[in-house]
Amino acid sequence: MSVGNAARSLLKPVRGVLRSADTVLKRSYVAVAEARAVLEHELESIRAAGTWKAERIITSKQGPQINVDGSSGSILNFCANNYLGLSSHPEVVQAGIDSLRAYGAGLSSVRFICGTQDLHKHLEKKLAEFHEREDCILYASCFDANAGLFEVLLGPDDAVLSDELNHASIIDGIRLCRAKRLRYKHMDLHDLEHRLKEAQSSRMRLIVTDGVFSMDGDVAPLQGICDLAEQYGAMVFIDECHATGFLGARGRGTDELLGVMDRVHIVNSTLGKALGGAAGGYTVGPKPLIDLLRQRSRPYLFSNALPPPVVGCATRAVELLLASNEIAQSMTAKTMRFRNKMTQAGFTIAGSAHPICPVMLGDARLASDIADDMLKHGIYVIGFSYPVVPRGKARIRVQISAAHTDEDIDRCVDAFIQTGRKHGVVS
């Protein structure tokens, strides 16, 4: 065989490999292009429906007044979960700085390996004291706390009874467990009783509800829920993210507000709203449950420990609330000032006497347009639409803070009246 023929015979398999690789690469490009087209179509459908959620850029610290990229001057913020104004409280901020210097930026590890510091245990002790429960376990968020609880607590012989409007994190957490799942109509005690009767053959029964439902600002009927739980031998769990720190005489939450602190067995809540607003969540309840969560709760076992500055800030926030209930008690009058003035102006405000004040508008695009116009008046609010709320129930969720003045509230109402008239919502 000549040298040329030999070379050609050697190149044939190489060319075949190259052609095969080229085919695979083309297929990969086609797959990516097809996926991109699907994603772009989905995004366009969101824009067309008026439910696109643009993120505004804040160029200042969180507070009742903020700076927003693209807007001149100070903007009044009525769309934060900073209910007590502690996100920028000087003592809370200083506690974070002190913890950063003393303990560093982070642990680079999960809790059970080398991620637990004495400040984590101190905060857990303070939170258990605050809620008057036996023990506490910290998580990276309350979403993680809800994702990590039900799978550990409940098995195939158990039943979980969940309000149909519970937070998405509760729904996702329940999906992870193997218990029998029963949904009851929103805050409907008759339907809950019917479901409890269905679940009587189960080993354990757990009633699960938000203490306050974040999109509507309505408070769960905990007294009736606890009555049914005791009648049918069930436990009660509440998510207190939108109640901890400011509901109840001492700010302990909806269970204190409704006089059932000793009848609610498990409480999940957050550090990321009223308690400093940085990050983190937790579960408080019976010590055996907390001990078991430390052994088996996946979000706890596989997530880094909360950063020391976050823990320092939250600890100081809890200490302030343990020392005085003055901040919590300031909320009621301010909340009712806004609700009453808006109702008198012709707006429909959902919920009850809670700082979450949903201005009901129905149409998603209308809610978005009014929120944009409110920003031009110096008021920061956001339109909420599907899938955050049901279709046809779009709203602007106004949230009152203890840091708002009466003048701030009146300015917000005046801006709503002007924009509402422009869009034909009020006369």
| Catalytic residue list | 214, 242, 273
Please name the amino acid found at residue 364: A
Q: What DSSP character marks residue 306?
A: P
What Rg, from alpha-carbon coordinates, does the chain have? 26
CA 42 to each of CA 23, 28, 54, 242, 326: distance values in angstroms, whole numbers, following the listed order: 29, 21, 16, 32, 48
Q: What DSSP character marks residue 88?
A: G
Max Cα-Cα span within the chain:
100
Question: Rounded to an integer, what distance in angstroms lies between the CA atom of residue 277 and that of residue 283?
Answer: 17
User: Do β-strands 356-362 and 379-380 pair in parallel, antiparallel, or remain unpaired?
Assistant: unpaired
Question: Rounded to an integer, what distance in angstroms lies between the CA atom of residue 308 and that of residue 196?
Answer: 43
Question: Rounded to an integer, what distance in angstroms lies between the CA atom of residue 159 and that of residue 156?
Answer: 8
Question: Rounded to an integer, what distance in angstroms lies between the CA atom of residue 251 and that of residue 249?
Answer: 6
Helix 222-232 and helix 189-198, axial crossing angle in degrees, nearest 10: 20
